[in-house]
Amino acid sequence: MSSSDVDAGRSSGQSRLPRGPKPTALPRAGEPSVKRIPSTSNVRPPSATRVPSSTTARRGATSAMGRDVPAPSLPRQPLSVINARQASVGRKVSGMSPKGKVAVNVGRRGVTGGGRRASGGRMSALENQFTTMKDLFERERQNTAELLAREQAERARQEDKVKALEAQQAKLPQGVRSLAADGVGAEELEKLKAKHAKQVRQLEEALEREQESLSRHKRYLSERDDARDTLESECKALESKLSAKDRQLQSQQQDIARLEEEAVQLRSSTARIEEELRAAETLRRKLHNEVQELRGNIRVFARVRPQLPREREMSSSSSSSSGLASIHFPDPREAASIELLAAGESAVGTATMKTHAFRFDRVFQPSATQSDVFEEVAHLTQSVLDGYNTCIFAYGQTGSGKTHSLEGSANLHLGAAAVPTQDPEAGLIPRAVQMLWSTAEHLRAKGWRYEFEGQMLEIYNDEINDLLGKHELSGSSSGSNRNEMKHEIKHEKMRTFVSDTIVVPLESPSQVFTLLAKAKSRRQTAATLMNERSSRSHCVFILRVKGANALTGESCDATLSLVDLAGSERVNASGADKDPVRFTETKSINKSLSSLNDVITALGNAKTGGHVPYRNSTLTWLLKNSLGGNSKTLMLLAISPMAEHLNETINSLRFASKVNSTVIGTARRVRASE
Ligand SMILES: Nc1ncnc2c1ncn2[C@@H]1O[C@H](COP(=O)(O)OP(=O)(O)OP(=O)(O)O)[C@@H](O)[C@H]1O
């Protein structure tokens, strides 16, 4: 039974009854049972409403004809329907088919046409038959009533069953109910139930998992709560720390403000002190100049070069000692003293270490830069523009740093656009040249016009070579003297001339640098394997400066001589005693250097009117006007820091010390007219 049928049954109140085969239609006219009914038209069943259903009537009739009466089956229709049908059957029975009517009419004709006796017998037979039928109807009616009662009881029972099923169905899930309603088999239902149970299990398991996850989340949340509580407490602690730090910061800021105020005051007092120091320094220089002038115009600077990389390597590979001499600078602020510790002999002849102390106008430590040295020399070179003959000569043993200080490092290459003051490698000569040109340019505003000209000379074995000339240099690698030119030195008033030498008018510093490079290359070409020419000859760069002031009518004509002397080492120290060429060179160098010594000594005694032996060497004769009392002279003593050179260093220092103690009078301006 489908749910729709159940519902339909509920609404009609009739379909609750179990279904059965439809009632059989009443027998039609012409059928045997109908034929047995009397055919008169006015014969009717006693009561049309009591006529049983066609089936019942037919069965009853069949039963009455000696056939088995089948067990009454449940009526399929409600009683009202049955009654309605019985009524219908009654009507049908009364309105018989034409064939039946014919049969009845035939009977009537038989009655009318057969005679009165026969009809009387037939009538009684019919009446009997009618009575029998009436009994049959009555029995049938009783049977029907019984059946009806049973049917009603059965229906009530079925209704109860249906109710029970409905209750069961209500308990089943909708899907099962619908399947059951659709008539799905029990096996399938079992499968569905199993499937349902499985789904329920799965759902239960999923539910369990969800519950587990939920409890996990709850645990996690509670842990997070704990962590949050911890963080909150930490945060509070940090906040309190922060506020403490804030307070500290505020007090520190107050301290800083106070300190800054103090710093401002200190800065202003420092500036004042510095100003006082500058003024004191100016005064010191002025006094120093006055002292120098009283002493004479020769000054001595000593410069100790740093240890060279190759010397450091040799020292580290040969012994544990650094190879450096023990050199000290006792007064770094004043920078005028130098002390050397060297082995000596005591008064009783025992070996002992002795300190040799010297004082000069300025002492430069190995850390001093080219710029530091030039700063001290600049004002001296500048005095050429004021008309003072000036001479700077570098003195020292081979490799002590003379050329480095005067020209610059071996790597220096000054091009046309070179700015020597910005090149840490550039030495005194390029710096001085650049400064002279720039000062001359400044002085144009004051009416001064300057002309510059220069020459480069070399004194080798006491002979002059023109480094800018075309003739072969004396003692050159060719070994021939055929192209050598003999030069003579002449002095006229305050000026010096060298015959047959090239004097180049100089327009710019870059032209001077080109000139220097040319001279250097000539010296290198002339060098032999046995003759390191730069060490064995004196090199003199003479820059003549002529100035005139159209506004004031003043004029000046002075020279700046920059002299790179040959190495000052002694004969035995140079190994020259074993080599005749070297011996000659060294003899010549020694002669010129001792002449220089003699000249300076004589100049120191010049106040007494003694003779000055300028002519004793080409060098001193050439430098006559630059060394005399009318010029400003600077001796730059180059010192090697190495212990192996200590003896030569001490000799150089002694000579420099003698020069430094010499008073050679006051420098005088050289006017163009002189
Ligand atoms: N102050 C210094 N700083 C760095 N290197 C220096 C310094 N003085 C000299 N040198 C280096 O020492 C070496 C020798 O120097 P330099 O050639 O100037 O000596 P010198 O006295 O002119 O020698 P010589 O008499 O043989 O011409 C060079 O390689 C030079 O670059």
pLDDT in tens, 633-642: 899 999 999 9
With a 6 A CB cut-off, is 476 part of the ligand 1 pocket? no
Q: Is 9 in the pocket of ligand 1 (CB under 6 A)?
A: no
pLDDT at residue number 290: 67
In this structure, which residue's CA is closest to atom 11 in ligand 1?
Answer: 401
Cα separation, 524 vs 467, whole angstroms: 11
Q: How far lies 347's CA from each of 351, 352, 435, 514, in Å?
A: 10, 10, 52, 56
Q: At what angle are helices 116-171 and 3-12 packed, to 10 degrees?
A: 120
Query: Where in the chain are all domains bearing CATH 3.40.850.10?
Result: 296-660
Q: Say how far apart CA 565 and CA 459 lie, in whole Å.
A: 9
- What are the tens digits of pLDDT across the range 272-308? 998 888 787 667 656 755 665 665 568 899 999 999 9
Q: Is 538 in the pocket of ligand 1 (CB under 6 A)?
A: no
Provide the pLDDT for residue 7: 38
User: Where residue 2 falls among pLDDT bands split at 50, 70, 90?
Assistant: very low
404 lines ligand 1 (CB under 6 A): yes
Q: Calculate mean pLDDT across residues 254-258.
A: 95
State the residue for tokens 């001490």.
650
Query: Is the pLDDT confidence value at 53 over 70?
Result: no
Ligand 1 nearest-atom number relative to CA 406: 18
SS3 30: coil
pLDDT attached to residue 236: 93
What does each C-alpha distance from 458 to 295, 524, 540, 618 come to in angstroms?
31, 12, 6, 10
Entry pTM: 0.58
Strands (E), 273-350: 298-304, 326-328, 337-345
Q: How far is CA 97 from CA 40, 51, 103, 423, in A?
A: 13, 18, 10, 151
Span 198-207, average pLDDT:
86
User: Measured from the CB, is residue 427 less than 6 Å from ligand 1?
Assistant: no
d(CA 347, CA 100): 192
According to the model, what pLDDT value does residue 622 have? 92
> What number is the average pLDDT over the span 610-621?
89
CB of 568 sitting under 6 A from ligand 1: no
Q: How far apart are CA 405 and CA 399, in angstroms?
A: 11
Residue 403 marked ligand-binding: yes
pLDDT for 360 equals 93
Confidence of residue 357 (pLDDT cuts 50, 70, 90): very high
Q: What is the mean pLDDT of residues 194-208?
A: 86
pLDDT of 494 over the 60 cut: yes
447 is known to lie in a ligand binding site? no
Cα(371) to centroid of ligand 1, in Å? 16
CA of 360 to the centre of ligand 1 (A): 21
Determine the residue type at 374: F
Query: How big is the chain, counted in residues?
Result: 674
DSSP string, 50-81: GPPPHHHHHHHHHHHTTPPPPPPPPPSS-HHH
Cα–Cα nearest to 648, from 342, 328, 329: 342
Average pLDDT over residues 498-517: 90
Nearest CA owner, ligand 1 atom 27: 535
Q: Where are the beta strands (DSSP E) in 181-292?
A: none
In the prediction, which pLDDT does 539 show?
A: 92
By mean pLDDT, which of 298-307, 367-376, 501-510, 583-592 is the weakest? 583-592
CA dihedral 397, 401, 407, 409 (to 10 degrees): 140
Q: Hey, which of 301, 303, 304, 305 would you mutate to test ligand 1's pocket, going by the most ligand atoms within 8 Å of its Cβ?
A: 305
Atom of ligand 1 nearest to the CA of 638: 21
Task: Determine the pLDDT at residue 570.
Answer: 63
Mean pLDDT for the chain overall: 75
What is the 3 state secondary structure string of 124-169? HHHHHHHHHHHHHHHHHHHHHHHHHHHHHHHHHHHHHHHHHHHHHH
| d(C-alpha 627, C-alpha 47), whole Å | 184
Q: What is d(CA 33, CA 35) in angstroms, rounded to the nearest whole number?
A: 5
Q: To which H or E segment does residue 483 belong?
A: none
pLDDT-derived band at 176 (thresholds 50, 70, 90) equals: low
Contact partners, residue 358, CB within 8 Å, separation at least 6: 302, 337, 338, 339, 653, 656, 657
Tell how far CA 572 is from the center of its chain: 65
Residue 371's pLDDT band (boundaries 50, 70, 90)?
very high
Residue 410, CB half-sphere, CA atoms under 13 Å: how many?
5
pLDDT at 124 over 70: yes
Nearest CA-CA partner of 540 in 591, 576, 574, 489: 489
**Taking the chain, what is the end-to-end CA distance rounded to the nearest angstrom?**
154
The model's confidence at residue 173, banded by pLDDT at 50, 70 and 90, is low
Q: Among 311, 393, 404, say which to mutate for ligand 1: greatest number of ligand atoms within 8 Å of CB.
A: 404
Q: Mean pLDDT lowest for which of 37-51, 229-243, 326-340, 530-544?
A: 37-51
Side chain identity at residue 107, one-letter code? G
According to the model, what pLDDT value does residue 48 have?
A: 39
User: Does any ligand 1 atom lie closer than 6 A to the CB of residue 440?
Assistant: no
What confidence tier does 600 reach under pLDDT thresholds 50, 70, 90?
confident
**Cα–Cα distance list, 121 to 115, 117, 485 (Å):** 11, 7, 205
The answer to whether residue 657 scores a pLDDT higher than 80 is: yes
| Among 94-103, 573-582, 633-642, the range of highest mean pLDDT | 633-642
Residues in Cβ contact with 12 at an 8 Å cutoff, skipping those fewer than 6 apart: none
Mean pLDDT over residues 134-161, rounded? 84
Q: pLDDT at position 78, please?
A: 42
Counting from 1 in the atom list of ligand 1, the atom nearest the Cα of 370 is: 1
Q: Return the exposure string of 8-18: e unless at least 16 CB atoms fall within 10 Å of the residue's CB, then b.
A: ebeeeeeebbe
Quick one: pLDDT at residue 524?
64
Give the range among 329-343, 461-475, 567-581 with minimum mean pLDDT: 567-581
For the chain, the farthest-separated pair of C-alpha atoms sits apart, in whole angstroms, at 225
Q: How far is C-alpha 153 from the geometric centre of its chain's CA atoms?
A: 100
Alpha-carbon span 117 to 135, nearest angstrom: 27
Question: What is the rounded radius of gyration, in angstroms, for the C-alpha atoms of the chain?
Answer: 75
Q: Classify domain 296-660 by CATH architecture.
A: 3-Layer(aba) Sandwich (3.40)
* Proportion of the chain above pLDDT 90, given as a percent: 27
- Going by C-alpha positions, the residue among 306, 321, 360 that lies closest to residue 338 is 360
Which positions ≥6 away from 400 have C-beta within 8 Å? 305, 567, 638, 639, 640, 645, 649, 652
Q: Is 398 in the pocket of ligand 1 (CB under 6 A)?
A: yes
CA distances from 199 to 168, 189, 211 (A): 21, 15, 18
pLDDT band at 663 (very low <50, low <70, confident <90, very high): low
Ligand 1: distance of its center to the CA of 539 in Å? Answer: 15
Ligand 1 site, residue 74, Cβ cutoff 6 A: no
